[in-house]
Structure 1
Amino acid sequence: MRIRQAEHVFDAPWDLVVRAQFRKYPNEFNNAVEGVDVVERRVDKTGTLYSHRLLSTRWGLPGWATKILGACGHAHASEHSFVFPSIRLMVLETKNLTFCNIITVDEKMTYRPHPEDKNKTVLHQESVVNVQGVPLSSYIEHYVIDNIATNAEKGKKAMVSVMEKIQKESLELQHGAQKTMEEAFQKLHFNERSPF
């Protein structure tokens, strides 16, 4: 078994980071995630947003590893997320569904506001990889952990890109609303002055 823990600080407020997380895939920085399907999404009576998604991925394992594992290169994972707005916490737990009798990859990510700067968000990520019952299991675990680290770096870039898109969309909506209000005011003002 191999464990990887990492922490990263996003230079963005928690609510923006959470919105970006839901829109992270697919992205131009990491093409390993090919599709996302929402299985369930609901808000409970406490205001907690619960979401269950299925991710379709390409693991990018080398040919020798796919032969040992008997895999085809495509895999599916189950992601459960919980957003607790009252305490400003998001938790994502992801587990592979494909060939999980040989290899398990459990990942947990938490997003919290930075304790000293409310305009920043702290991401804590923990990945646990366990390969058993096949030759070179320790080597495969090491390879998967390295792949997770590489994809995490791509994921950070994707998050920043998505946050920029969200901010741009927000500005466009604000400008559009302002323009509509100005046009409506001009028509109203014109109609008040018109003798007809």
Structure 2
Amino acid sequence: MASKSDEQEDQTEWSNVHVFNFPWERMVEAAYRKYPNPYSSSVHSLDTLERSVTAAPGEAVGTRILSRRLFCTRWNIPSFITRMTGTDPEVTVSEQSVCDVGRQTLTIRARNISKQNFFTMDETLVYSVCPEDRNKTVLKQSANVNITIPVIGGLLESIWLSQYKSTVDNGRKGIVSVAEKITEEIL
């Protein structure tokens, strides 16, 4: 797996670019089939609520797949935060995706819908064909966290993003394992 790591962060935001050694079509299928995988055991339920095919603006034929999914996950929330807030680490996340077949992009946006009185976490992933090698896929990933606890919110945001970054590698390993499994199924 090749990696180009153009990482940027501030206290509440993080972004990164990564290159996978799989064609875009394979990575799209892997993204839709990512859970379960051996590297992301925190996701324990996933439901597709809606999926439809629409035309992109100015096109007559449907070339975009719109999806809405809901999943439940157990986040690695530091124990002092769970004690302080009286909340458990179970988080429900809403995910919306647009797979634009004509432009060969898959954009996934996810946000927690539970515990918003305590925090919001937004994640965006954009998969596209690598311009230098059509057999590779570029992933642009970003996350933004906002914690609403007065006085220590900024500190908690830094801790939260640090923990998020530590899970990114496992997420990538997980999607690669799914892409490899799909490749084996095809062969």
TM bracket (short chain) = 0.7 to 0.9
Relative to the length of structure 2, the TM-score reads 0.87
Partner of 2:59: none
Structure with the bigger percentage of strand:
2
Which residue, out of 25, 41, 46, partners 1:36?
46
TM-score in terms of structure 1 length = 0.83
Structure 1 or 2, whichever has the larger Rg, is: 1
Q: 1:100 aligns with which of 108, 113, 116?
A: 116
Task: State how 1:141-180 maps to structure 2 within 5 Å.
Answer: 141-171=157-187
Equivalents in 1 of 2:121, 2:24: separation in Å? 26
1:21 aligns with 2:31: yes
Contact 1:102 1:134 in 2 (8 A): no
Identity %: 33
> 5+ residue gaps in structure 2?
1-10, 56-61
User: Which residue does 1:137 correspond to in 2?
Assistant: 153
Q: Kindly state the Cα deviation for residue 134 of structure 1 after the two structures are TM-superposed.
A: 4.1
The answer as to whether partners of 1:35 and 1:57 remain within 8 angstroms in 2 is yes
The alpha carbon displacement at 1:147 in A equals: 1.9
1:5 and 2:15 correspond: yes
| Amino acid aligned to 1:86 | G
Alpha-carbon separation, structure 2, partners of 1:39 and 1:69: 30
Structure 1 stretches of 4+ moved >4 Å: none
Give unmatched runs, 5+ long, in structure 1: 172-196
| CA deviations over 1:48-102 (Å, ceiling 9, x no partner) | 1011000101111122101223311101000000000001000000000111122
Aligned length: 171
CA distance in 2 between partners of 1:70 and 1:82 (Å): 36
Q: Structure 1 or 2: larger helix share?
A: 1
Q: How much does 1:122 deviate?
A: 0.4
Q: What's the Cα RMSD here?
A: 1.2
